[in-house]
Structure formats: structure tokens, C-alpha cells
Amino acid sequence: MDCEVLVVGAGPAGSGAARSSASQGARTLMVDKKKEIGTPVQCGEVIGLELVKRAGIRIPPQAIVAKHSFTRFVLGREVIVDNHEPYWRSVTVERKIFDKHLAMRAAMAGASVQADTRLISAKVENGSVVSCVLNHRGEEIEISPKAIVAADGVHSTMSKVMGADFFAPMDVARGVEFELVAKKELPECMQIFIEEEIGLGYGWIIPKGRRRANVGIGLVGVNASRRTFLEDWIAGHPVVSRYFDADKVLEVKIGDAPVPGFIGGPVRGNVLFSGDAAGQTLAFVGEGILPSYICGGLAGKHAAIMAKGGTQKYEEDLVDQMGDQLMMGAVLRDALVDMWAPGALDPRVRSLLSGAVMNELVDPDELASMTSAMEHGPLQAFKELARGSGKDIRARRC
């Protein structure tokens, strides 16, 4: 099991890294602690189609369970905003299928792939890892990779090994969702809920068919039982409760998502961090599947360069390839954090302005001038913003 590049974690970032590293000619080993790659599912399973083009991949048809031609924002339980712009078109995938597909691509490129293989410890000298101990299905194995890609999630083991602390508590959304059977047919769109009842986080309905969906919430800075919070939210929300009761649960999915804004391509010694371990998500909505895959591919490329004795330029390459998306997400995320600070805005207005910012109907620097309009006529204010933007965005009352 010796290798030049070790990839820890076989999610999208890890598979992207392993495929890229192997394609560069480096002997590559990707390990994952799970017995089955792609499980358990810990996200909403939605992928923006604009990112599919950027990633240059084809999603296998058997992994796609729903297509969404627009995204609906439900703001403050007052206003519904339907965004038909191309950026907000998406698909829902079965992660259990899609993640295995990505791992298979890495294996076909020449990487060794080992599920049920856990990183136990690492020996660090002069700031770099010189050896790692893996538990490979009950057997301890020591290896000495020349470079490592840490793609092992927001609670990364490699981060702890290297003493790298990338996230503050407010940089992590605590997510929980139920895969539910709906009481009636669902709209053919993803729905995002921004409201005072959730706070800085958000809620979602992500269809997986006409009568099935992931229904969840991401809590930021809220100290509460996730499952109880979600059950109460489903029962009490006037829109969500039209479609769902929390008594038809097919699967419970719990996980944390980093939303720190753009922190680049972190490198510590010979360890390159990628995916959730590096906060490489679209921070204002937490989408991380394809951003992680793309960034993982760059990490793998430069890990291979490092392993061959060259000079890696991971962060420079990442800024060139994904900087626009990740930085845009960071700007919007920072604006949302400011709006949800205690006392920053009238509670009723915050949700409406958050929706305007997320739909890029108002620049974050112009929020003060919009506050009064939102207070006195939210629906009319949104209609005027949408008309003035020239975008295919429609607003109506809930």
C-alpha cells in the first residue's frame, strides 16, 4: 500500500484529488474510513448545473433523481421569489451513486482506492508528515507518502494532526434533514427558506422526485437539538407543512458544513487541504459537492508535483480556476452575517434583504437605502428590484 500521494477521504474532493494525482503519474492511494463510499449521506444532494460545466464532468443518468429549472426563495414567510436565471438551475443526485462514480473515475485513472481504511496517526517532523499509520480493515499499516491531500471533512483528522484550525464556531452550519414522502406533488424546483425562525442559517426542500424530498435546516450559532428543531419547523411552517408531515421519514441525514468564506487553498508542510476540510463551499448557500471536486482536482495535481520534487502552486491555481465563485460566495456570506448580527436590522426586514442579496438584486453596500422600502412594502420592493435588474426573477406574496 505504499504511495507517493495519500488522499484522506473519498468524498468529491478526495476523488477529484486522487484522479488528478494519478493522472499526473504519481502513485496515489485514496482511503476512506467508511465501509461504503458515499454513505452516510450528510448533505442536501443538490448540484448547480453551472458548476457541472465548470467541472467538465458528466453526471451519470442513474445518479440524477430530479431536475430543477429554477430556485424558489421563501423569505420571512411573506414573499416568494422564483429565480429562473441559469445559475440557479440544478439537479438532485443520489450521493450514494454519485460518490462511487467519482471514486471509480479515480480508480480508472490509476489510483488505489481503499474503503474501510482509517488514518490513525501521523508522524510530523519539521512541519511535514513523514509517515502515517492506517487501520486497513483491522490491520495497522505504516506508509510514508511524499504529499498528502486532506479531504476528510470539516472535522478533519489531518487538521488536528497539523494543528490547523481553519474554522470558528460561526463558520460551521449544523445540518439535519429528513428524506420525506410528500403529501402531494412538489413544485419542480429547489426551495430555500430564509427567516427569523431559523436565524443566520437556512431551510430547504430539495425534491428527489414528485413525491419525495430532502427537507432540512442548517443551523448557525443556534444551540438546539437539530432533530427536534427540524420536526417543529416542518410542523409549524405554513409552506413546508402543506407538503410534509414528519411521520414519513425514509432517511435521517446529519452533518456539518463549513461556511467560512474564501480561505484559499490551505497548505501545511506537505499536506494540501481540500473540500470541506478547507471550507471550499459556496458559503452563502453551503453547496460543496462540485466546488469540492474541482478544488480537489487542483489539490491532487499539485500534490503530485510536490511528490515529484517540484514546487506546488495550489493556491494560485485555485484562485485562477475557482476564485470567482468562492470569493463571490464569501462576499455574500459576509453581508448575511452582518445583517443577522444582533440589533443590526429590524427582524422582519432581515429575511427580505437577505433574499435580495442572495439573488443579487441589491449590492451589499446599498442595504441601508433598501431598509425602509422593505418595511413599508416588501412585495412591491422586490418587484421593483427584479424589474430593475433585468433578470428572470419573479416575486409574489406567500
Same domain flag for 183 and 242: yes
pLDDT at residue 346, rounded to an integer: 83
Last residue of a domain, one of 280, 306, 329: 329
Identify which of 3-12, 167-176, 221-230 has the greatest average pLDDT. Answer: 3-12
Same domain (yes/no): 136, 21: yes
Task: Quickly state the pLDDT bin for 362 (edges 50, 70, 90).
Answer: confident
- State whether 177 and 241 are in the same domain: yes
Shared-domain flag, residues 15 and 116: yes
Domain identity same for 30 and 102 = yes
pLDDT of 389 strictly over 80: yes
pLDDT in tens, 295-317: 999 999 999 999 999 999 999 99
Contact 30, 18 (CB under 8 A): yes
- Look at residue 156 in the predicted model and tell me its pLDDT: 96
Task: Note whether 219 and 255 are within 8 A (CB).
Answer: no
Indicate the pLDDT class of residue 1, thresholds 50, 70 and 90. Answer: confident
Alpha-carbon distance of 112 to 82, in angstroms, equals 45
pLDDT, one tens digit per residue, over 67-76 is: 999 999 999 9
Q: What are the angstrom distances between the C-alpha of 174 and each of 145, 178, 371?
A: 33, 14, 29
Among all chains, which residue has been given the C-alpha cell 457541472?
52
| Structural domains of the chain, count | 2
**Domain match, 196 and 162 both:** no
Q: Cα 158 from chain centroid?
A: 19
Give me the percent of the chain exceeding a pLDDT of 90: 78
**156 and 253 inside one domain:** no
Q: Are 386 and 75 in contact (CB under 8 A)?
A: no
Residues 275 and 287 in one domain: yes
**Domain hosting residue 201, numbered range:** 169-258
Q: What is the pLDDT of residues 132-187, one digit of tens each?
A: 999 999 999 999 999 999 999 999 999 999 999 899 888 999 999 999 999 999 99
Tell me the pTM: 0.94
The DSSP annotation for 76-131 comes to TTTEEEEE-SGGG-EEEE-HHHHHHHHHHHHHHTT-EEESSEEEEEEEEETTEEEE
Nine-digit cell at 110? 490509476
